[in-house]
Amino acid sequence: MSNELFKTVLFLPSQAAAETEATIVKWLVGEGNSFSKGQVLAEVESAKSTFEFEAPCDGTVVSLLLAEGMATPFEKPVITIETADRSFRQEIPSAVISMHDSPEMDIPVVAKKKGTSQGRTVSLLGIGSYLPERVVGNGELLIDHPDINEEYIFGVTGIRERHWAKPGEKPSDMALVASRKAIENSGLSPKDIDVIIVSTATPDVVMPSTACLLQEKLGLRGLPAFDINAACAGWVYGITLAKGMVAAGTGKNILVTGVEMQSRLLDKKDRGTYFLFGDGAGATVVSGTKDGHLIKNEILSADPAGIRMARREAPGYEIVRNGGKFDPWIRLDGRALFRFATQSFSTMIRELIIKSGWEPVDVRWVVPHQANGRILKAAAQKSGVPFERFYLNIDKVGNTSSASIPIALAEIERGLQKKDKIVFCTVGAGITVAGMSIEW
């Protein structure tokens, strides 16, 4: 009979060939709801796109096989329905129908990913930060842009002012102040540090590394010191690297410092970058020997599909006047970066919450890279965590790249309580992506 009802399962529609999985952002139907062909059943997000999952037939929802915020391969069913559309009786192979009898969707895909070693507890200890004394408001920068005003800049970027380094100040000078504060706040002395990692895209010189220059300023000898460059994601990359070194026994107390001096790399004519960036430094000590703020989980990734979204062709923290044919300035593809960052932030937050065994309501603060106020507000809407739980200081400091998370963390540290649950998330040039969950 043509009107005979039967049960079957539906799959998310396949996307680009490189796409392997997607996340249900929001279900628009529930158990027992009837729907018609073409009706939107759910909002879905994959690594490269956001799309609507439309019903391919008329029917009624029997059960949802995937919770909101969970990721799934495209070959797994996401919903069981009851329908009279006979074409769907033939479309789903019997092997897939049997999957409904024992659904595998109870465990999120992220939980199956390779994790870090749990053999040793690794913690963050003290936090230290530094901002240059000079405060530069939007009004000062608008001298070269008389056709726009301060409120316009704030509306587009979320920034009212930023700190810029004084003449003669170097990245290693800023890193030193933040590092000393972090070591002191850890209850350690410089001699207790046995590895130094500096994250920076604006080193003092190409070589030696800024980490070695910082080592000299701290008066330390005979220990590993090196730079990493993951752009805005660098500090979280550095902490993850330090955690692995502690687990491997390479170091016990590892100083991780993010420092950026970008004020001298901004093209006054380029409105897409000129108003965004500030200078600063932030640091912490990663320890396996002393109780602190527990590092729970981390996510690191990079996608060269976005390699042109954020870039600078010449090295260093100053413009080389005889730089030849190189474009010396920081350049951004604002629209593409906005979309990529929004998707990455929200996906990372959801995955870290799941991997950590938390619920969105458990999160005390999301401390994001202070990229752009509009990006962060859009990411909050998709993350499952209320925007009120996102800590923003971008209005006062601008985008300080890899230093932005530790600078923000230093501001809220005094108000944090033991067992508070914190999420870091950041996106940088590369495109690099990094996230981390911390239990205070």
Q: Read out DSSP for 24-93?
A: EEEES--TT-EE-TT-EEEEEEESS-EEEEE-SS-EEEEEESS-TT-EEETTSEEEEEEE--THHHHHS-
What is the token pair recorded at 407? 């600078």
Q: Is 241 in contact with 114 (CB distance < 8 Å)?
A: no
Of the candidates 138, 369, 372, 425, the residue annotated as catalytic is 369
Q: Which residue has the tokens 């010396």?
A: 328
Beta bridge partners of 8: 81
Q: Which amino acid is at 358?
A: W
- What is the C-alpha to C-alpha distance for residues 230 and 211, in angstroms, rounded to an integer? 15
User: What phi and psi, each to the nearest 5 degrees, are found at residue 171?
Assistant: -55, -40
Of the candidates 57, 212, 232, 425, the residue annotated as catalytic is 232
Of the candidates 138, 253, 297, 399, the residue annotated as catalytic is 399
Angle formed by the axes of helices 171-185 and 210-218, nearest 10°? 60
C-alpha distances in Å from residue 8, one per residue of 52, 67, 406: 20, 18, 50
Is 425 catalytic? The answer is: no
Is 393 catalytic? The answer is: no
- What is the C-alpha to C-alpha distance for residues 210 and 412, in angstroms, rounded to an integer? 27
User: What phi and psi, each to the nearest 5 degrees, are found at residue 316?
Assistant: 95, 180
Is 149 catalytic? The answer is: no
- What is the C-alpha to C-alpha distance for residues 391 and 412, in angstroms, rounded to an integer? 8
Using CB atoms within 10 Å of the CB of residue 152, give its burial: 0 to 12 exposed, 13 to 18 middle, 19+ buried: middle
Q: What does the radius of gyration of the chain's CA atoms come to, in whole angstroms?
A: 24
What is the token pair recorded at 52? 């609507």
Q: Is 166 in contact with 195 (CB distance < 8 Å)?
A: no
* Phi-psi map region of 172: left, alpha, beta (phi>0 left; psi -120 to 50 alpha): alpha
Positions marked active-site:
232, 369, 399
